[in-house]
């Protein structure tokens, strides 16, 4: 099982019998360091990767009085990320930085079966359309000559993807 709206926080508030709001917050961070042993260049590599995403969706139940409820939902999402890689060698140091921002339109449909008023099982299919902008900076500094070469690449992307079927268990308080 995985989160429906966010990996850190997935919250649903029932507004009426037939409507709810969902919000999700996801955070991710990774740091890796590698040192190559017995290498004449004595290379050290570090990599850090951080990302954050937030979504807010409106959820509508088609048959709110039924035990098995069909629903659909839609809303916006935003994501941001930063990745930095450093490669340190005897004669040079290379640094790559990548900044990403994205805006999404999210949609989903599913069924929810209430086993008890505070416990339900559900299955959901999600889709998203995302427009993103990424800037990559490649910096190469040669140590003996002490000169620096900087290259900047700007990338725009649009992706449409199905996020697969998710199965879940919800507990309501």
Per-residue pLDDT tens for 47-74? 999 999 999 999 999 999 988 999 999 9
Strand 19-35 with 147-171, pairing: unpaired
Provide the pLDDT for residue 1: 45
Distance from C-alpha of 140 to C-alpha of 138, rounded to nearest angstrom: 7
Do 34 and 25 contact (CB within 8 A), yes or no? no
Closest CA to 62 of 98, 109, 106, 104: 109
% of the chain residues with pLDDT over 90: 57
The model's pTM is 0.80
Q: Which residue(s) pair with 156 in the sheet? A: 133
Average pLDDT over the chain reads 88
Closest CA to 138 of 89, 77, 96, 79: 96
| Rama region for 164: left / alpha / beta (φ>0; ψ in -120 to 50; rest) | left
Provide the pLDDT for residue 168: 86
- What is the per-residue pLDDT across 89-143, written as a single tens digit (0 to 9) for each? 777 888 999 999 999 999 999 999 988 888 999 999 999 999 999 999 999 888 7
Distance from C-alpha of 133 to C-alpha of 157, rounded to nearest angstrom: 6
Provide the pLDDT for residue 118: 86
Which carries the bigger pLDDT value, residue 147 or residue 23? 23
Provide the pLDDT for residue 7: 76
Task: List Cβ neighbours of 99 (8 Å cut-off, separation of 6 or more).
Answer: 81, 82, 134, 135
- Look up residue 41 and give its two tokens: 């260049």
């Amino acid at each position: 099982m995985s989160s429906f709206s966010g990996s850190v926080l997935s919250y649903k508030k029932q507004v009426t019998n037939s409507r709810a709001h969902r919000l999700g917050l996801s955070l991710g961070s990774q740091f890796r360091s590698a040192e190559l042993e017995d290498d004449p260049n004595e290379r050290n590599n570090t990599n850090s990767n951080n990302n954050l995403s937030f979504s807010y969706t409106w959820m509508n139940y088609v048959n709110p009085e039924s035990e098995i409820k069909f629903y659909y939902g839609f809303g916006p999402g935003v994501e941001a990320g930063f990745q930095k890689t450093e490669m340190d060698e005897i004669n040079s140091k290379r640094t790559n930085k990548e900044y990403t921002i994205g805006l999404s339109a999210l949609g989903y449909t599913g069924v929810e079966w209430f086993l008890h008023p505070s416990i339900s099982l559900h299955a959901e299919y999600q889709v998203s359309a995302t427009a993103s902008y990424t800037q990559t900076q490649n910096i190469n500094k040669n140590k003996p000559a002490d000169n620096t070469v900087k290259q900047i690449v700007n990338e725009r992307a649009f992706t449409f993807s199905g996020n697969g079927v998710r199965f879940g268990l919800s507990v309501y308080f």
